[in-house]
Amino acid sequence: MTMRYASYISPAGARTWGVVEGDTVYDLGPSGLNLAANLGDAVRGGVFGNVQSEQYSSAPAAAEAEITFLPPVTEPGKIICIGVNYRSHQEETGKVEQKAPTVFTRFADTQMGHLAPALMPASTTQYDYEGEMALVISKDAWHVSKEDAFDYVAGYGAYNDFSVRDWQRNASQWIPGKNFPGTGAFGPYLVPASDIEDLDSMVLETRVNGEVRQKAALGDLYFSIPELIEYVTGFTKLSAGDVIVTGTPGGVGLFMEPSGLLSDGDVVEVEVSGLGVLRNTVQRCE
């Protein structure tokens, strides 16, 4: 059985985390069984992925519809994002045959959870979506080989790297266009890596107002997950709870004709096989 973990605000207003089974969330955090202070600490302490049903079934429960989702890992030390990492996206951007991954950083305080608004800043006319799959690191990682890389993955979740394209394209560095508040959607769940049987066959699909814009198998990644982990840990030390966002397929709004860029009120969904549907509605900021 695939286990789904979530971070959330309970109906009583407590920030916590737990296991989602069906339409019910079982509280494993400070307001429940108190197995760890948050989901990041559960990863760091080896609790994540190791909670049995006979244990969580006795936890305080709430209906999933009554909680407010947070990003699964609310305070990662590092968020490392990978650009143009599907051939289809390389072709539409003209950035083909890369020799090394394109890497940029996202700040933790720019993230939001499932169903939170995707904040479109007043200073942009080019707000875009990027459906992706993210992974969370399970333990300290430094100079990890490709062969050992999967030993360092705690779990996987859906991600939407909303992008402020005009700010992103002002210069060669992408960081400004990737770090406005409320633009890094993560969730709704974090699924243990041990529960994923065939990662490459999983399909990522992004929809805008129900229209399919992006669709690709994770096996189509240009740089594979082991290659990404080897490369990233070759230049920076990663810790348990850190996040790598693995890249987006072709079909982003910027390169569509006519333009597929986002507007106030658009509903964007990112669905990854077995990881759930991440849904956010665009909200224009004044």
CATH number at residue 168: 3.90.850.10
pTM value surpassing 0.85: yes
CA 270 – CA 267 distance, rounded (Å)? 10
List pLDDT tens digits, range 167-210. 988 888 889 999 999 999 999 999 999 999 999 999 999 999 99
CA dihedral for 194, 155, 220, 210, sign (positive or negative): positive
As for how many domains the chain has, the answer is: 2
One domain, residues 53 and 177:
no
Query: Region 106-127: what's the mean pLDDT?
Result: 97
One domain, residues 94 and 115:
yes
One domain, residues 157 and 61:
no
One domain, residues 113 and 226:
yes
pLDDT at 221 over 90: yes
One domain, residues 152 and 235:
yes
Residue 94: burial class (beta carbons within 10 Å; 0-12, 13-18, 19+): exposed
One domain, residues 29 and 89:
no
Inside any domain, residue 205: yes
Res. 93 pLDDT band, cuts 50 70 90: low
Query: Region 42-46: what's the mean pLDDT?
Result: 97
pLDDT at 219 over 90: yes
Predicted pLDDT at 96: 65
List pLDDT tens digits, range 258-270. 999 999 999 999 9
Predicted pLDDT at 174: 87
Structural domain that includes position 37? 4-69
One domain, residues 125 and 234:
yes
Other CB atoms within 10 A of residue 22 CB: 8
Residue 54: burial class (beta carbons within 10 Å; 0-12, 13-18, 19+): exposed
Predicted pLDDT at 94: 64
One domain, residues 105 and 15:
no
One domain, residues 107 and 214:
yes
Predicted pLDDT at 92: 66
List pLDDT tens digits, range 226-272. 999 999 999 999 999 999 999 999 999 998 989 999 999 999 999 99
One domain, residues 138 and 36:
no
List pLDDT tens digits, range 135-172. 999 999 999 999 999 999 999 999 999 999 999 888 88
Predicted pLDDT at 95: 67
**Residue-averaged pLDDT of the chain:** 95
Percent of the chain with pLDDT over 90: 88
